[in-house]
Amino acid sequence: MKISRNKIYAAIAIVAVLVIAFCWGGGFAKGSPSSDLDNKTSVETAQKAATDGAVKADTETKSAIGTTTGAVETEKSAEAAKATASAVKVDQKAVAYSESKGMKIDKSTGKDKYQTDPVPEGKPIPVEPGTANITKTAKTCTMSIECKTILDNMDNLNKEKVELVPENGVIMPPTTVTFYEGESVFNLLQRETKKNKIHMEFVNTPIYNSAYIEGINNLYEFDCGELSGWMYKVNGWFPNYGCSRYVIKQGDVIEWIYTCDLGRDIGGGFNEQ
């Protein structure tokens, strides 16, 4: 009986040693099924977090792109609206009048095919060179040429041109001249400057379908500043189209005037001749 009791005590001691060893080792060893499951769960959790982060970042990026695109489209729309408003900002009364007289106005630009604005009501409509019927019927009008504005801007005048400016600024005083029915202001200028031995130089400008007067009496555009040049006026109005498109009528008063400030110093805006 003593032996059996010792065996029982020995067995109990062995079990106690095993329990203590197990607890000291911290449960399952690393690499055990339970540890692998924990590791797998951690990996899956990290992957899910990364995926969620990527989705969120992608959503935010798309949102930012959408916002930028929207801003760009809004800006484009604003510019388009501005351009449209600018295109239609024309004198509708002048358009109606010009079209009633045969002038073809492009609705998108508010001008004709030669970049001419509608003509104010009551003013002559431009006639294309070569289409006017010039007859042998003689009529009269008045024409003059002056450069008085240069006298107030001598400091800006090309020094080589000083002696070309008359003391009173008058190159040709108001003179009654003869023209033929159907002739243009340009036709008359050509003939009268040649007749009076006054220098005149011009160039044809296809885009405006008209002649452009570069110089008279050897005084050219830009000779008295970057805004200087020749303009013409008929019956007190500065036409908004070239001189070879303006058909003269009996009694017209035609003035050729040199401007030093884009027409502002002679009472009109700058128009193509």
Local structure of 134: helix, strand or coil:
coil
Local structure of 29: helix, strand or coil:
coil
Cα–Cα separations (whole angstroms), residue 220 to 167, 209, 229, 263: 18, 21, 6, 15
Domain match, 193 and 141 both: yes
- Assigned token pair, 63: 């949102």
260 in a domain, yes or no?
A: yes
What CA–CA distance (Å, rounded) separates 234 from 7?
141
Domain match, 236 and 261 both: yes
Cα–Cα separations (whole angstroms), residue 241 to 80, 113, 119, 126, 155: 29, 12, 9, 7, 31
83 in a domain, yes or no?
A: no
76 in a domain, yes or no?
A: no
Per residue in 204-259, pLDDT tens? Answer: 999 999 999 999 999 999 999 999 999 999 999 999 999 999 999 999 999 999 99
What pLDDT does 46 receive? 47
Domain match, 120 and 169 both: no
Domain match, 45 and 95 both: no
What CA–CA distance (Å, rounded) separates 266 from 237?
11
What CA–CA distance (Å, rounded) separates 79 from 83?
6
Domain match, 224 and 170 both: yes
CATH code of residue 142: 2.170.130.30
Residues 6+ apart with CB under 8 A from 229: 220, 221, 222, 258, 259, 270
Domain match, 112 and 216 both: no
What pLDDT does 76 receive? 44
Give me the number of domains the chain comprises.
3
Tens-of-pLDDT digits for all 273 residues of the chain? Answer: 444 555 555 555 554 544 444 444 443 333 333 333 333 344 444 455 445 555 454 555 444 444 444 444 444 444 544 444 444 467 899 999 999 999 999 989 999 999 999 999 999 999 998 888 999 999 999 999 999 999 999 999 999 999 999 999 999 999 999 999 999 999 999 999 999 999 999 999 999 999 999 999 999 999 999 999 999 999 999 999 999 999 999 999 999 999 999 999 999 865 556
Euclidean distance between the first and final Cα of the chain, in Å?
142
Evaluate whether 243 touches 184 at the Cβ level (below 8 Å). yes
Full strand arrangement of the beta sheet holding 219-220: 200-205, 210-216, 219-220
Evaluate whether 142 touches 252 at the Cβ level (below 8 Å). yes
81 in a domain, yes or no?
A: no
What CA–CA distance (Å, rounded) separates 138 from 126?
21
What pLDDT does 132 receive? 87
What CA–CA distance (Å, rounded) separates 73 from 62?
16
191 in a domain, yes or no?
A: yes
Match 């001749």 to its residue by tokens: 273
41 in a domain, yes or no?
A: yes
Domain boundary among 101, 125, 149: 125
Match 């003269």 to its residue by tokens: 248
What pLDDT does 268 receive? 84
Domain that holds residue 100: 90-125
Which of 115, 75, 123, 61 lies closest to 97 in space, CA to CA?
123
Domain match, 54 and 140 both: no
Domain match, 27 and 101 both: no
Percent of the chain with pLDDT over 70: 65
Domain match, 155 and 219 both: yes
84 in a domain, yes or no?
A: no
Domain boundary among 81, 106, 125: 125
Domain match, 261 and 133 both: yes
Domain match, 181 and 222 both: yes
What pLDDT does 10 receive? 52
What CA–CA distance (Å, rounded) separates 29 from 33?
9
72 in a domain, yes or no?
A: no
Domain match, 29 and 45 both: yes
